[in-house]
Amino acid sequence: MTKEEISGEDFGHGNKGRREGRDGMDLEAWALKGHYSLIRRMKKMKKMKRQIVRANGKDEMDKLSELAMTKAAVIFAKSSCCMCHSITTLFHELGANPTVYEIDHDPRGLEMELALQRLGCKPTVPAVFIGGRFVGSTKDVLAAHLKGSLKAMLIDAKAIWF
């Protein structure tokens, strides 16, 4: 085929030289339409998140505090997070048996994650509470462990006995 024949090739829509997407639209217009609909969906999701935060913000913060106070050591985690697994393993090696709430399996996990963000967790998981007090995320827990204060916190909270 020559260059002219390729540029005028029929793409199965009966039009020579004009590439079409779905719905008979020009390919570029079709791509832009898809891009704009994606942007609209993203904006709608952000709006929904804001509404959830406004509606459930205090409720979720109260629920988080209540869950953190129920046990001596509590870890909010996600099942696919390797750092959450590492922190949980560290607690087990120290002799503690932390309560682990996997927020990706909780029906209100999104709200809990947003509440953790408002609490100052960046990244949101793992979020560690010892004795009802927020300790921090991976970086904070490992720093406390290296200083030797993590074990002392666990003993004070009666998560381990020595």
Q: Is residue 18 part of a domain?
A: no
- Looking at per-residue pLDDT, the higher value among 120 and 134 belongs to 134
Are 138 and 87 in contact, with CB atoms under 8 Å apart?
A: yes
Q: Is residue 4 part of a domain?
A: no
Q: Is residue 129 part of a domain?
A: yes
Q: Is residue 162 part of a domain?
A: no
Q: Which residue has the tokens 């922190």?
A: 87
Q: Is residue 6 part of a domain?
A: no
The count of domains in the chain is 1
Lowest mean pLDDT across 5-19, 50-64, 147-161 = 5-19
Domain of 121: which CATH number? 3.40.30.10
Q: Is residue 49 part of a domain?
A: no
Mean pLDDT of 152-159: 92
What pLDDT was estimated at residue 118?
84
Q: Is residue 26 part of a domain?
A: no
Per residue in 20-79, pLDDT (tens digit) is 555 565 656 656 666 666 667 667 666 666 655 555 556 777 888 888 888 999 999 999
Domain membership of residue 82 as a residue range: 57-156
- Distance separating alpha carbons of residues 18 and 156, to the nearest angstrom: 74
